[in-house]
Amino acid sequence: MAQFVVMGRAVARVVADDRSLWAEGLLFPDDLAGVRAGDVRVRLQLPDGTTAEYPAQDLSPALDGARQLGRVLVKLEERDGLYPGQPLRLEVLLPRPETAWAP
């Protein structure tokens, strides 16, 4: 089965440490510029079709050398059916910058 990325869609997968599961997503450098982990929320579509929204726990400012993408990590609550390596749909909710209108 071929793996590919659809432009405009974030790519995510479930990763694990000793005690918990995390969702790891990839972001373009322009999306990482000027934001902090506390400013960003992530909406995940879970395998059962429901969605859940989480605050980003970590944003990696360093880009992956091969792909030139940054990384966002989200700590997941315990949920049945999630396992390390599992792909998920992920939507990164970036804060909107303050804008000014001038005639």
What are 39-73's pLDDT values in tens digits? 888 898 888 888 889 898 888 766 666 767 788 88
Residue 22, domain extent: 10-93
Q: What is the CATH number of the domain that holds 54?
A: 2.40.30.170
Report the SS3 class of residue 38.
Answer: helix
Closest CA to 74 of 62, 60, 64, 61: 60
- Note the pTM of the prediction, 2 decimals: 0.67
For residue 4, what are the CA distances in angstroms to 10, 18, 61?
A: 12, 30, 24
Nearest to 43 by CA among 90, 94, 84, 95: 90
Q: Is 32 domain-assigned?
A: yes
What percentage of the chain has pLDDT greater than the value 70?
67
Domain assignment present for residue 33? The answer is yes
Q: What is the DSSP letter of 32?
A: H
Number of domains in the chain: 1
